[in-house]
Structure formats: C-alpha cells, structure tokens
C-alpha cells in the first residue's frame, strides 16, 4: 500500500537522503575551510588583509648643511616646486577636464597630449624625465595609484607654483608638491670639495632600503664631502603607518608616527674667500701666459693652502672643474658624458688624485736626508758645473757606459754649499749628494734607500687620509720596486733622477704641500683635514675640531736605519732639529736671493715668506700624442710651494700648473697672490682694515 502511495506521489524518498547527504558534505567542507582560514592559517590571512589595508609611508628626512669656516653656506636644502595631478580628484565632467588640461599646459609648457602610450612606454615612464603629455601622464598615474599625485613638471619657478595654487578651486586635482633639493651657493668654486648628490644606485638599493631610505626618491652623496661624510649628513627617515582603501586613498594613521631625524651639519676648514682668490690667481696666471705666448699652453692646475700648525686645509682648487648645481635635480646624461669625455678630466680632483713628477720641490727630502746622515755638512763646498758625466752600471761586472747629467743652468753655479744649492735649486749639487760623485761625495751619497726613508718621513708615497674620495698614493721608487715592476736593475742614474723628483717618482700636489708643512712646522707632520667641526640640526657642536699630530720627525723615530745593502736594521732614528732649522734657512734664501727672488722682491717685506720652485719634465700620453717628448727638450710642469711668515708660519701654499713651464715664472706668482690674499683677509677679519675704505 505504501509503495503504491509513493508511486502515486511521483517522488522516491531515497532521493531526500541523497540531497541531505550532499548538503551535509557541503556544510562540512565549509566548516573545515572556515576552520583552516580562521584557526590554522588565520594569522597568515590576517597579515595579507592588513597588508592590503595598511601602508607604511616613509617620511623624508632633511640632509645636513655644509658651511665654510666662517659660516658661509656651501651646500643646503632648498624647496623645489613640482606641479602634480592626483587623477582621482580630477573633474568628472569631460569639458571641464579638458579646460583644466589646456589652461595648465599653457602655464607650464607641457603639451596636453604627446606620444603613444603602450605597455612598454608606460613601464619606462619616469616623472619629469618624459616626453609624454599631460593626458598620458595622468593615465599612467590613474592606473598605478589614482589617489597619489604624479608629477607633471618638476622644478618650476615660485611664480608658476603660486599661479597654480591660485587656481586651486578651478583646477581640481592639480596641486604643487614641494620637495627638498640640494643647492650649492658657491657652485663650481667648491665643487671638487663639496661634490654632489644623486639617486640610489641599483647595486646599493638593498643596503639603503635596510636603512629606511627610498630608492627613486632619496639621494645620497656621489662625490666630495657629500660622499665621504654621507652617513653624517643624511640623517634617518621617519615612518607613518596608515590605513587606505582599495583605491589607495589614505583614511587614517593607525600608529603614532616616527618622526624623521635630520642629518648633522658640517663646518669645513675651507675659507671660501681664500678659495675664490686662489682660483682667480690660478686661472688668471694661465690666461696671462696663454695670451702672452699666443697659444693654449696651460688649462689645468691646482692650488692648495693649509695651516701647517693644525693641518686645516684653507683652500683647494682643482682646475678645470664642474658645476655641481647642474646635478641638483637629476644628473643630465648629456652633461655627464661631456664631463667624462673632456680630456682635462674636470670630474677628477687633481689636488689629491693626480700622480705627477714633483721635480725640484721633491729635493727637500734629499736635502734633509743628506744633512741628517752626514753625507754633507752645511758649509761643505761642492763643485756645481752645468753637467757631470757618470758611468752607468747595472750589474757587478758591468763595464758600464758614460752618461751625462745636466743642470737646468748649463753654465753651472760655481761651487755650492747647502744653502746655495737649495736656494738656486742646483741639479748637480743634488745629483752628487743624492747618488754620490767620485771622492767629492763618496760612498754613493744618500743613496736610493735612504732617500726613500726621508721622502716617506715627509709624507710622500702614502695616502694622507684627507676626508675626500679618490686620494692617490704616488710612488717613491727603490731598487726592489724596479726589479719587480720593471724587471730591471737600479743604477746610480736612477738615484740621481729620483733625487730631483724625476724619473719614476710621482706625487700628488697634496703630498708636496704636506712635505713643506712638515718642514715649516719644525718637523711636525699634522694630519690634513677639511672637517673643522660637526654640529646637530640645532647648531650645537657635537664633534669639535682637534688637530691630529701624526708624527714629529725630530722626536718620533720614523726613519729606518739601513745597513750597507739598504736593508732595515730594526733600529729607527729621528731628524736632528738643527737640520730642520738649516733647511728652513735655505728655503728662506730661495725668496731672498734664489730662484724666486724676482717674483717676491716687491712683497717680501710684507709677506716674509720662504719657499721652493720646481720645474718637472714630463712625458705623458698627452705630450706623446702631440710629439712633445723630444730628447733634452721635454715639456715641463710648473711647481712652487711657499709659506709665511717664514719664522712663524701660518699658511703654506702649493701651486701646480700642468705644462706650465718654469715654476719660478708661472707657479710662484700664484702662491704670492694667495699669500697676499690670506694676510689681507686676516687684516679685515681682525678689524685692522676698514672694509669701506680699504685702509
């Protein structure tokens, strides 16, 4: 009977059971899934949800300011005005939107539309470095982040920025974004010292991200003090954790913001006024000789000034240089390529990076060594003809061959004692005391090994540690170096040539300066520095200046005692103080009666200086290409280093002019002008001179 009823109803009860089972399975599945999402993987899903909902925003810090020793700003942060559009806030009405585009285009000079927008061109888009028009830039911004402003034009004038802001009610979505960019008020005058900043490179991206910096926005030091003191200057970014909607619109802060920490300020030892005087003296002297000779002879040079008692660098000019303000917003590719292709290498700080033959300024290493080692006595008379002939030998049984070595004055200087030999820079005098000559200066003179010891004691052949990148080491050669590097034996001729700063000897202008600073300060070798002090963002001094004495050659045993073969015995010695005193007398005589007397004769009463001329023969790639390397007629660099007052030195100055010719004629006038500028500025600062009348 029941079966007949079920048949008559048209539905079988087992079908109910199947539906119930299926519904049960679905319910169990969702229960399991819900358990997995909320219990097992709940933390992970919550983190993903928070990641979509929350955003950490980096708040940019302020880079520290760089000042000169007198408080003049050399590098600072200034506002840059960028015109931007937030796509989500643009007018919805097409007609109104088109009018906004047209009016904005007329004001800022960016076309309404320009270029074809494809996936590849959109990916390559970089704000303010694109040819796209306003519409294309807006489309890219709307696609990526509609509630984030996208820059249409960067670094507009303040007048344009104010004009844009005045249309705030009419131009919905258009705004002015104020960014901080680096400005260098002294520009090319101090570019080699200050350097510039640039974007974080791909290679350093991970490192800077870990420090909280944002690639593509934050900038770091690329050269000069901006590079070497980057960690001090850059500070640290702050952070905000905010909640945003699915379109990227910020709703609120969900955590207390972490404020950015401003970078520290740096006060340099540089006096920008003296820097300007040094650059003017260098360029004027080169221009004068180029005009006088009727050809471009010299375009490259260096001037460095230092306080020998403290090691403070007062001026450092490397010419030619570059304009670091052109790197402030971005580094233009065409300008970068132009600088890199320039044969004069304006991006190189030649004061510390150029390794050059020092010529006669290097003779002071031999002068001090010869007196200290007893090779000669101060009053010993040595014959100084225009040339000498020496038998060159390279091996013990080598019969050798005669080689003539000339003095710069082929007429010779008669007989020379120590002061006359130095003051007239007589080459033959130094050949003999450096490498010996027959019975006049027996036992090989000072010899190459001991010459190296005294050169290194004055600072040659080593990096000084100045707070600038790219410092070169130079070369103080010895017989071992020549066997290894040149696969040749050393000869007495090599010693002769090294004694006068030629041959294999190379040095930087800074090393030349340091050698004379050591002599001027009675043997004290101070660490050169361009950092006077470091202050916080409020101007409080957190690292004051303290001069650093590296060694005193009259008190610290820094010179190795060598045996007859040139090997160190393990014992070390100092330089006798009287040797330094006598050397300083000789350097004073250079100005009074020697090679620099004509240049300083009218100003010696006022300056009371001492110094040394240098004329260094060279044959580099440039000279070789111009066929200038002719026997006995190589081109020459001009050197001069002087300090004043000679009895209580306050300043030492080195001038170098590439292919300048005679040091006395070309480099000495530059040093004279810098010394005059220094003492004039000193008088002004002390109130001894009325700046309104000049008296």
Q: Cα dist. 127→57, 102, 124, 215 in Å?
A: 19, 20, 10, 14
| Beta partners for residue 401, in sequence order | 392
CB 362 within 8 Å of CB 501 = yes
Strand 610-617 and strand 174-183: pairing? unpaired
Q: Give per-residue pLDDT as tens, 67-93.
A: 999 999 999 999 888 999 999 889 988
Q: Mean pLDDT across the stretch 6-11? A: 52
pLDDT at residue 623 in the model: 87
pLDDT at residue 52 in the model: 58
Top pLDDT among 97 and 240 is at: 97
What CATH number should be reported for the domain whose range is 272-686?
3.40.710.10
480 Cβ contact list (under 8 Å, min separation 6):
none
User: With 50 as the cut, is the pLDDT of residue 599 above it?
Assistant: yes
Give the residue from 648, 641, 639, 638 showing the smallest Cα distance to 679. 648
Q: Mean pLDDT across the stretch 592-616? A: 95
Q: Per-residue confidence at 26, pLDDT binned at 50, 70, 90?
A: confident
pLDDT at residue 658 in the model: 97
Q: Give per-residue pLDDT as tens, 520-534.
A: 999 999 999 999 999
Q: Per-residue confidence at 6, pLDDT binned at 50, 70, 90?
A: very low
Per domain, the residue ranges of the chain are: 2-40, 75-184, 272-686
Q: Mean pLDDT across the stretch 661-671? A: 96
Q: Per-residue confidence at 135, pLDDT binned at 50, 70, 90?
A: confident
Q: Give per-residue pLDDT as tens, 539-568.
A: 899 999 999 999 999 999 999 999 888 888
Q: Mean pLDDT across the stretch 116-133? A: 77
Q: Give per-residue pLDDT as tens, 316-363.
A: 999 999 999 998 877 888 899 999 999 999 999 999 999 999 999 999
Q: Per-residue confidence at 155, pLDDT binned at 50, 70, 90?
A: confident
Q: How far apart are CA 600 and CA 607, in angstroms?
A: 9
Q: How buried is residue 155: exposed, middle or buried, by Cβ count under 10 Å (0-12/13-18/19+)?
A: middle
- Burial readout 101-128 (b: 16 or more C-beta within 10 A, e: otherwise): beebbebbebeeeeeebeeeeeeebebe
Q: Give per-residue pLDDT as tens, 274-323.
A: 999 999 999 999 999 999 999 999 999 999 999 999 999 999 999 999 99
- Burial readout 3-28 (b: 16 or more C-beta within 10 A, e: otherwise): eeeeeeeeeeeeeeeeeeeeeeeeee
- Residue whose pair of structure tokens reads 């004009």 in the numeric block: 163
pLDDT at residue 686 in the model: 85
Average pLDDT, the chain: 89
Element (H, E) at 677: helix 668-686
Strand 541-543 and strand 414-416: pairing? unpaired
Top pLDDT among 620 and 421 is at: 421
Q: Mean pLDDT across the stretch 649-668? A: 97
Decide: helix, strand or coil at residue 258. strand
Q: Mean pLDDT across the stretch 5-12? A: 53
User: With 90 as the cut, is the pLDDT of residue 36 above it?
Assistant: no
Q: Mean pLDDT across the stretch 164-191? A: 91
Q: Mean pLDDT across the stretch 233-258? A: 73
pLDDT at residue 32 in the model: 75
pLDDT-wise least confident of 30-44, 160-174, 420-434? 30-44
Top pLDDT among 39 and 148 is at: 148
Strand 265-268 and strand 66-67: pairing? parallel
Q: Per-residue confidence at 252, pLDDT binned at 50, 70, 90?
A: low
CB 518 within 8 Å of CB 553 = yes
Q: Mean pLDDT across the stretch 27-45? A: 68
Q: Give per-residue pLDDT as tens, 386-425.
A: 999 998 877 767 777 889 999 999 999 999 999 999 999 9
Q: How buried is residue 60: exposed, middle or buried, by Cβ count under 10 Å (0-12/13-18/19+)?
A: middle
């Amino acid at each position: 009977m029941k079966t007949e009823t079920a048949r008559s109803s048209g539905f079988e009860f087992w079908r109910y059971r199947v539906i119930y089972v299926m519904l049960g399975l679905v319910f169990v599945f969702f229960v399991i899934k819900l358990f997995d999402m909320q219990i097992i993987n709940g933390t992970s899903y919550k983190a993903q949800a928070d990641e979509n909902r929350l955003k950490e925003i980096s708040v940019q810090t302020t880079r520290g300011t760089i000042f000169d020793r007198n408080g003049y700003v050399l590098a600072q942060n200034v506002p840059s005005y960028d015109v931007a559009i937030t796509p989500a806030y643009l007018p919805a009405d097409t007609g109104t939107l088109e009018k906004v585009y047209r009016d904005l285009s007329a004001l800022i000079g960016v076309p309404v539309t320009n270029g074809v927008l494809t996936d590849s061109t959109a990916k390559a888009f970089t704000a303010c470095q694109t040819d796209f028009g306003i519409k294309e830039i807006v489309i890219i911004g709307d696609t990526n982040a509609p509630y984030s402003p996208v820059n249409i034009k960067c670094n507009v004038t303040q007048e344009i920025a104010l004009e844009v802001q005045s249309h705030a009610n009419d131009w919905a979505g258009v705004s002015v974004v104020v960014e901080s960019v680096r400005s260098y008020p002294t520009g090319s005058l101090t570019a080699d010292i200050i350097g510039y900043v640039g974007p974080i490179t791909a290679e350093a991206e991970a490192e800077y991200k870990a420090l909280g910096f944002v690639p593509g926005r934050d900038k770091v030091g690329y050269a000069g003090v901006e590079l070497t003191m980057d960690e001090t200057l850059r500070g640290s970014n702050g952070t905000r954790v905010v909640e945003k909607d699915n379109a990227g619109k910020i709703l609120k802060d969900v955590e207390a913001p972490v404020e950015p920490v401003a970078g520290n300020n740096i006060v340099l030892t540089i006096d920008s006024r003296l820097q300007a005087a040094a650059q003017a003296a260098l360029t004027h002297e080169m221009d004068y000789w180029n005009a006088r000779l009727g050809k471009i002879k010299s375009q490259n040079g260096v001037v460095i000034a230092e306080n020998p008692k403290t090691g403070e660098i007062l001026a450092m000019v490397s010419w030619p240089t570059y304009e670091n303000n052109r790197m402030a917003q971005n580094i233009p590719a065409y300008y970068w390529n132009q600088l890199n292709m320039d044969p004069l290498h304006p991006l190189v700080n030649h004061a510390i990076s150029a390794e050059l033959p020092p010529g006669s300024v290097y003779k002071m290493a031999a002068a001090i060594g010869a007196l200290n080692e007893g090779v000669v006595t101060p009053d010993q008379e040595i014959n100084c003809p225009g040339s000498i002939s020496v038998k060159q030998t390279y091996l013990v049984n080598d019969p050798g061959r005669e080689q003539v070595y000339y003095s710069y004055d082929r007429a010779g200087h008669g007989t020379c004692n120590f002061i006359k030999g130095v003051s007239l820079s007589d080459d033959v005098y130094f050949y003999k005391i450096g490498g010996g000559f027959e019975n006049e200066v027996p036992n090989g003179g000072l010899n190459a090994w001991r010459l190296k010891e005294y050169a290194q004691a004055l600072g040659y052949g080593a990096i000084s540690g100045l707070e600038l990148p790219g410092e070169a080491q130079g070369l103080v050669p010895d017989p071992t170096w020549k066997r290894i590097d040149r696969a040749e034996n050393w000869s007495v001729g090599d010693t002769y040539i090294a004694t006068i700063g030629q041959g294999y000897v190379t040095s930087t202008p800074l090393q030349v300066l340091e050698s004379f600073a050591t002599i001027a300060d009675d043997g004290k070798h101070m660490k050169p520095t361009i950092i006077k002090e470091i202050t916080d963002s409020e101007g409080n001094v957190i690292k004051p200046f303290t001069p650093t004495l590296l060694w005193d050659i009259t008190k610290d045993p820094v010179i190795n005692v060598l045996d007859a073969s040139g090997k160190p015995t393990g014992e070390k010695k100092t330089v006798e103080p009287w040797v330094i005193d006598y050397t300083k007398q000789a350097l004073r005589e250079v100005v009074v009666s020697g090679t620099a007397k004509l240049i300083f004769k009218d100003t010696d009463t006022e300056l009371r200086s001492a110094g040394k001329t240098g004329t260094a023969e060279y044959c580099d790639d440039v000279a070789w290409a111009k066929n200038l390397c002719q026997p006995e007629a190589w081109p020459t660099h001009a050197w001069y280093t002087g300090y004043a007052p000679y009895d209580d030195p306050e300043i030492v100055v080195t001038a170098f002019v590439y292919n300048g010719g005679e040091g006395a004629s070309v480099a000495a006038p530059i040093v004279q002008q810098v010394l005059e500028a220094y003492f004039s500025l000193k008088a002004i600062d002390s109130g001894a001179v009325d700046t309104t009348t000049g008296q």
